[in-house]
Amino acid sequence: MQQIIKRARIIGTGSYVPDIVYSNEYLESFLETSSVWIYQTLGIKERRIARQDEATSDLAAKAGIRAINDAALGVDDIDLIIVATATPDRLAPSTATIVQDKLKAYNAVAFDLAAVCSGFLFSMSVAAQYISSGVYQNVLVIGADTFSKITDWERRDAVFFGDGAGAVVISNENDNRGFLSFRLYSDGRGKDNFTIPAGGSEKPSSHSTVDNRLHYFRMNGKAVYDTAIKVLPEAINQVLVDTGLNISDVDFMVPHQPSIGILKKTAELIGLPFGKVMTNMDRYANTSGGTIPILLDELKKSRRIKKDNIILFAAVGSGWTYGASIIKWS
């Protein structure tokens, strides 16, 4: 379903990554992999890893307060907090309420949104619609994950992910800038291609599920690649049609960071020079919900983004979930 959003813009960004670094060379010391293969295939050189006593909410709160400060607001100005995560602190309550408490942002409504690697894009859409409808004025959207907590460090696919959090504050826009369009999609036929098999109501935690290592993520890498290079161009082309823009109008693509191969193929299929595709997976790997906001925060802080730039967001995640959005920067 097409979603045209007006009068909603990003007014602040923030991010946080843990201090611990796992390099490719470190991982090849105990996994059946090589640092060269990881970098050439995935584009990753290193990733950040949360401490044992560091939860998703800790990363999220640090990114969130930085975004609030960047927006020149106080915590009491935030009306709604949305946390996009696949690695919540607990099954209940929501990580967003834990973040709310850590920020002392008690004026805000708070809830989580679960769409894995597409979660931040989906959450921005929800926030923009709350702003557009006038229900809320300032929405804090956080993408945060600690995939190291659900990674089987005996499997080769441990190389894909890192931990991190990014955040934006979305508020009113009084002219023709801001979000121009969202297109979001889901396809549950892909539910088994990236999953955490146990820990929910389908397979409750037990000695058997722990012994069989069913609380770690399982991924069909080929299915992820094949799906991503099919659905990302479709979603991107649709938001271009929605806005009447051409791919040549795009100044930056700020995508989820699944692998360098997926991004290069997507850019080729949509006709976008790869120099316009922003990446930071070499330093952080795939931080799931954190990828887009961490990258956006880095671009904003480096002053690369200018007023009236056309920025394309795109993401694909477990489910399948996927989508794209276009914003005219203000």
Does 30 score more than 90 pLDDT?
Answer: yes
Mention every residue, 6+ apart, whose C-beta is less than 8 A from residue 133.
none
Instruction: Name the class of domain 1-330.
Output: alpha beta
Average pLDDT over residues 19-26: 98
What's 280's DSSP letter?
A: -
In 17-108, where do the E strands start and end? 20-23, 46-49, 80-84
Maximum CA extent, the chain: 58
Q: Count of CB atoms within 10 A of residue 33's CB?
A: 17
What CA–CA distance (Å, rounded) separates 112 from 14? 18
> What is the model's pLDDT at position 175?
79
Q: Which tokens hold the place of 113?
A: 């949104």
Position 1 scores a pLDDT of: 52
For residue 5, the model assigns a pLDDT of: 46
Note the pLDDT tens digit of each residue in 139-184. 999 999 999 999 999 999 999 999 999 999 999 977 789 999 999 9
Q: What is the DSSP string of 167-178?
A: EEEEEE--SS-E
**Mean pLDDT value of segment 312-317:** 98
What phi, psi does 252 have (nearest 5°)? -140, 140
Q: How far is CA 162 from the centre of its chain?
A: 12
Cβ atoms < 10 Å from Cβ of 209: 15
Residue 99's contacts (CB-CB under 8 Å, 6 or more residues apart) are 57, 60, 61, 64, 81, 83, 110, 142
In this structure, the number of other CB atoms found within 10 A of the CB of residue 243 comes to 16
Catalytic positions, please?
117, 256, 286
Mean pLDDT of 11-19: 98
* Selection from 18, 10, 147 nearest residue 71 by Cα: 10
Given the structure tokens 């508020």, which residue do they identify?
171
Instruction: Fill in the amino acid letter for 315.
Output: A
Reported as a single tens digit per residue, the pLDDT across 252-304 is 999 999 999 999 999 999 999 999 999 999 999 999 999 999 999 999 999 99
With a CB cutoff of 8 Å and minimum separation 6, the contacts of 29 are: none
Both structure tokens of 104 = 């002392």
In Å, what is the CA distance from 240 to each residue of 103, 114, 123, 232, 251?
Answer: 37, 26, 20, 12, 13
Q: What is the pLDDT of residue 2?
A: 55
Classify the phi-psi angles of 101: left when phi > 0, otherwise alpha if psi is within -120 to 50, otherwise beta. Answer: alpha
| Cis ω for the linkage preceding 37 (within 30 of 0) | no
Per-residue pLDDT reduced to its tens digit, 186-203: 999 999 999 999 999 999
Instruction: Please write the tens of the pLDDT for every residue from 78-124.
Output: 999 999 999 999 999 999 999 999 999 999 999 999 999 999 999 99
| Confidence (pTM) | 0.96
